Amino acid sequence: MNRRSGAWRRLLKPLILGLAIAPVSGACRDAPTGPELKPLTLVWQDEFDGPAGQRPDTTKWVPEVGGSGWGNNQLEYDTDRPENASLDGAGRLAIVARREDYGGRAYTSARLITRGRYQATLGRFEARLKLPSGQGLWPAFWLLGSDIGTVGWPACGEIDIMEYRGQQPKTAHGSLHGPGYSGGQALTSSFQLTAGAFDTDFHVFAVEWEQERITWFIDGIQFKTATPADLPSGARWVFDHPFFVILNVAVGGNYVGPPDETTVFPQTMLVDWVRVYQAAP
């Protein structure tokens, strides 16, 4: 029986939320964290409930439409069509990359942001995801500084909670970008699965963002921490203002290279939920 359907989902949801919150304040932490994260309260979420084919909730998500390459030489045209981003009817969002001619590009996909809908400073940001695979696929779950329109990138700051090369289905990465430590010079660490792969099951990707400390987790396992002491000499810590959330699946780009003859389309990133926790007032 599908645990995310109908009456069973309504009965289980409080239990699921309780289980999700419990490790945040307990054993999954491998290092002390600041008072901003104790205790944590669920303050924003999307569980993606709804009928199959329904578009993402427009009170929470805005599709960024275009095929400019997004500064990374990406090859897809990101659309606002349900063919590229819609609910699957089982309590999940499906972001689908397709091989098709559209808007002058050979691929389509979707890029969803909460800019203008939700932004936050500090807290725990997490999502339960099942990733696509294949050469040239580049899914990501990340945060971007809301002041990007005035200060530009990378001065606005960027927190990559999860990014992943589809040709390396057992490895995920967490990164921090800012002025003097962006692009190929970002502060980056990787996480390697010892069993299975990120395209065969769901995994929980999270950051805990505190004053002058950001910590990355996969399935409750801490694998990276960044503080101002880790920055290059003279670089600024710019993670002290609101950020918004982004979910996307890029095709091609500097980070992954283009698809090749081995890449199968369509490819889908399934998003079970996205949740944000912050300290109680």
Cis status, amide bond into 266, omega within 30 of 0: yes
C-alpha–C-alpha distance, residues 148 and 159, integer Å: 13
**DSSP-based three-state secondary structure for 28:** coil
Retrieve residue 165's tokens.
């090369």
What's the angle, vertex CA 207, arms to CA 236 and CA 164, rounded to 5?
Answer: 95
**64, 30 Cβ separation under 8 angstroms:** no
64 noted as active-site residue: no
Cα 51 to Cα 63, 80, 111, 134: the distances in Å are 19, 18, 21, 29
The torsion defined by the Cα of 43, 16, 166 and 162, in degrees rounded to 10, comes to 30
**95, 84 Cβ separation under 8 angstroms:** yes
208 noted as active-site residue: no
The torsion defined by the Cα of 64, 65, 68 and 73, in degrees rounded to 10, comes to 60
Active-site residue (options: 76, 126, 163, 210): 163
Closest CA to 209 of 201, 220, 218, 217: 217
**DSSP-based three-state secondary structure for 150:** helix
Task: Please report where in the chains the tokens 């696509």 appear, as a residue.
Answer: 132
**216, 225 Cβ separation under 8 angstroms:** yes
Active-site residue (options: 76, 158, 208, 210): 158
Catalytic residues: 158, 163
